Each structure stands twice: as structure tokens, then as C-alpha cells.
Structure 1
């Protein structure tokens, strides 16, 4: 989407600002933001981006590269609405006003309760403001941060690997390996994309998982999720997770919504729930599973070891409904990606 009143020069500057924003840290409590300052004639005066909590915001970073007064009459093109609050740094809206910027073009409105309102403050000071420029691209780029900013919690991805009949282990508890190497490699790739990876203490004590993201040879991938353990039982001293590149975080799991807010406060924007069935069931039952990754192997086991336990659903009308967003073949296995169906979404046909 491109705002109707943005010039072609401003649109190109927004694309450049998004590229600059990508230099910032992908995790943490602050968003990745880029800024391009244009002269009244449309020439680039300066560029900047945000490098993480406590550092200059993108607009201030760009302004700092100019001599005093050089930004007067300029246009600031920024990927996120300039902030309007005092945190570790001052409000960007005020910095732009004091620099004499005449116009501000931004992509996405700031959803923060305390940081929003920058556009109104700029307009009140006589600055022309245009929002929504390349909003779709910026929404996609900032998806994880925007989700957390809007909900107050990380996005939760619940994953399990099962047989066609929904079993995650044989009757004797063995489960290695239900799926093949292609599916397992995909899991590790997705682990590396998440900020944190979670298991319950039952799985931790039974399987002693490392909770790392690894390549086909067992080496650690460059990006590693923070390990999170839900439950009251202590993590054993010699557990594999204690040798993780990041220190494990342990949460009680009695109030998942509160635990997720705690993780958001630690800069966690996405949580990959790896297992086991008890923890996965708890997130689904609480309505806190934002995406399901189900790896299906062409096998059947029977028995009691189901991927998901009791969700408290007593009738088919109360079923948790999802929409498939992707189906992917991975060697002999199939990956199903699903997201909760929005309230009021279409229901299955009668009799199906």
C-alpha cells in the first residue's frame, strides 16, 4: 500500500529506510527503524537507524549527521511513526520539530500506549505529516515487534511431530525419530528464527533436550533461541539446557498469560513451543497458540501418547478451529501450518 499523497521520491526513500532498519537488532524490546532525511529538492541529506535500546532512535541518528540548522525545511521519511515519549532517549517528534523539519512521512503508526501520538504532536507544531507509505511492507518487516506491541506478549508458535493418528511416541515412550531428516532440519531452521524456545519440565526431565538450533552435522547455527522451561520442578545441574549459549529462563506456567508478558519484558517477541503434549495443550486450551506447526509422518502407532491432551471441548460445536496457511512436503513427511480462525469466521458445512 502506498499513501496517495506520497511522492515517488518519498516512496523510494521509504524503501531505503526499510533497508536501513534491517541493520538494527532483530530482538529486544525496541523496533528496528530506519530514517532518511530529504532536502526540499528531494536530495538525501542524511540516513540513520536504531541500533537497540538506549541508543539514538533512527530520526535522531540521522539528524546527528547534519550541521545545526541543516535539516530546516527537510522531509523525514521514517518506517515507524516518530515516538512521543521520554524513555532512555527523548521524543523523536520533539527532535524533528526542534530541527525545523517541515514534513514527516511514515509507514506504520506506533501502537504503543506511551510512545504513540507523535503524528498529532508534529501536526500541532505545524509539520505536515503523511502516514501509511509502504505500510504493507513495513507491517511485514515489523511483524513480530508489532504483534508484541499490540498484544503485550510474544507470538506463540506451537510445534509437534506426530504420526498420522496423532501419536508423538510409542507406548514405551520412544519417539526418535517419528519424522525424517528433512522435517527435522526444517524444525531447527524455525527454531533459529524464534527468539525463544520452550518446553515443560516433564519433557526436560524425560528427554534432556539441548533446545538449540543445529545444522545437519550437529553444529550450532549462528542464531540461537533463548531456552525457556515451564514448570515448578528444578532444572537438574547437569541438564543439557544448562550448556545452552543463553541462560535458561524458568517460569512456573501457572498463569501462561502472565508468563508471556514476563517474556515480552525480556525482549522476547516470538516463542517456539517445542513440547511436550502437556505444555502444547495448555497453550491451545488458553487460546494462546498463534500458529501451529504440525509435522506429520506417514506412520501409525496407536496407543495413548497423543500430541494434544484434553482441551475441555465437550461437543463438536466447541472445537478449536484453524485455517491452513501452508502445506509443505518435507521428504517423506508433510508440514501443516495453521492459524486460529478469527471469531465469526466461516464454519464447516453441516454433516462434514
Structure 2
């Protein structure tokens, strides 16, 4: 059997748990030093995954910005950019978005019923893989493992992060907490409601707490609790 990749969830949040506000402009929660840290983490991964809602809403390039880090990857025999991955249930994707036109190879996972629609829309911009009657993260991880992906960085949004955590598929969380309060019930949050393994009685292990300017990075290991069980 092919090994599934190590899954890292990465997210910047406000003190009250929001990943954005409800305005048309993206809220920048990280500072310059933390953006650079994220770029370094990206450079050390095999693939970066975001949900299709984030692709549409934020229109990100989702690349390694540092030329030096890209050169380091190439020197190690790796592509200059990690594989870019998105997941869509509806298949509603726009071929004009930045995601498709920057960086290296791309792959889209969707229910089987949406595969033909996506292939027609993207027309060669990405590999498209069906996961059965619905989005199946287990199939996604198995397929990424078969592609040689050993380390997967998941950058959101909230629905995707929630799915990985409720299904017990995340190995590590990088949570960058910005000194900002959003307080808008219409704004997206890091996590949605869900049935998480162990429930509210379970406490995850903290691997690191580090200030980065005015941002605090906390690394959690969700498959380990404070008792090490």
C-alpha cells in the first residue's frame, strides 16, 4: 500500500478565531515575518491544498515566493514549486483564476459526477481525479501518496480544515494568532461545527509556542493528547 502524506493544517486567525472579515477585501492577519515563515513551510512541502471556495474567494497564486527557496528545491531534485491541489464538490471553477496560471502542476479532486465538467472548464490546466459519489479525503490522500507526496500542507478554508480534523486526518496544526478582533458572525472562521475525535474533553499536545513579531505561532499535534495516549 502507498503511504498517505503527513498532513499539516496551516492557518492565520484573529484572537476570536476568524480567518477573514466579511468585507470584499482580504483581511491580512499575518505580518511580514509570518508570511515569510509560511513561504519557508511551503518550500519544504510536496503539495499545498486549499478548497475551491478559497480559490474563488481569495484568488491566490499559492506559490513559493522566494527565488532562493525555489532554487534550493531544484538543487534537491524537486520541482521549483510544490504540487497545487484543490477540492470541489460542485465543480464550479473559473479557468481565469490565478491558481491555474502560477506555480507548477495542479490537481483537482471532485465527485465523479463533476469530473467531466471540470475537465471541460480547465482544458489541460490541471489533472482532474474523481473520488467516488462524494468528496472523499481518504481517496485524496491515497492518490497524493501514489503521486509521491509525503508532506501535504493544507491552507484552508474553514470547511476543509474542519473535514480534516473531524475525520482524524491531520497530523499537525500551525495556528498563527494575530492581535486582531473581528467579531463579525458573517465572517469565515478557522473551524466550523463538527464532531471532533475525543470531543471537548480531549486536549491536544502543544509542540511549540513562538512569537513572530506581534503574531503568536502555536503548533498542535492533534493525534496526540497531553497524556501521550
Question: TM-score scaled by structure 2?
Answer: 0.77
Q: Secondary structure at the match of 1:267?
A: coil
- State whether residues 154 and 268 of structure 1, in contact with CA within 8 Å, keep that contact through their aligned partners in structure 2: yes
The 2-side partners of 1:203 and 1:156 are apart by 18
293, 312, 322: which one aligns with 2:195:
312
1:41-190 alignment to 2 at 5 Å?
A: 152-172=3-23, 174-190=25-41
Farther off after superposition, 153-162 or 221-230: 221-230
Q: Deviations over 1:165-187 (max 9, x none)?
A: 11111132543311211111101
SS of 1:188 mapped into structure 2: helix
**Superposition deviation, residue 346 in structure 1:** 6.2
1:289 is matched with 170
Distance in 2, Cα, partners of 1:244 & 1:317? 40
Aligned-residue offset at 1:225: 1.2
Rg larger for? 1
Rounded to whole Å, the distance in 1 between the matches of 2:17 and 2:226 is: 28
Which of 82, 85, 90 is equivalent to 1:225? 82
**8 Å CA contact 1:153, 1:264 repeated in 2:** yes
Give the corresponding residue for 1:303.
Answer: 184
Aligned with residue 324 of structure 1, among 180, 187, 206: 206
Which secondary structure state, in structure 2, belongs to the residue aligned with residue 275 of structure 1? coil
Partner of 2:217: helix, strand, or coil?
A: strand
Asked if 1:279 corresponds to 2:160, the answer is yes
Unaligned stretches of 5+ in structure 1?
1-112, 114-148, 348-352
User: CA-to-partner distance for each residue in 1:147-201, whole Å, 9 max, x for gaps?
Assistant: xx6xx20000001101111111113254331121111110111011110000111
The answer to whether the 8 Å contact 2:26/2:58 transfers is no
Q: CA RMSD in A?
A: 2.6
Indicate if the aligned counterparts of 1:167 and 1:307 stay in contact, CA closer than 8 A. Answer: yes
Contact 2:205 2:225 in 1 (8 A): no
Q: Label 1:292 to 1:184 Cα distance change in 2 as closer, same or farther (>3 A).
A: same
Which residue number in structure 2 is paired with residue 200 of structure 1?
Answer: 51
- Local SS of the residue matching 2:39: helix
Larger relative contact order, structure 1 or 2 (CA cutoff 8 Å, min sep 6):
2
**In structure 2, the residue corresponding to 1:342 is in which secondary structure?**
strand
**CA 321–258 in structure 1, closer or farther in 2 if over 3 Å, else same:** farther
Superposed CA offset, 1:123-148 (max 9, x none): xxxxxxxxxxxxxxxxxxxxxxxxxx
1:258 positional shift? 1.4
Equivalent pairs counted in the alignment come to: 195
Kindly state the Cα deviation for residue 313 of structure 1 after the two structures are TM-superposed. Answer: 5.2
Match of 1:26 in 2: none
Bigger CA drift: 296-305 or 180-189?
296-305
CA distance in 2, matches of 1:346, 1:225: 32
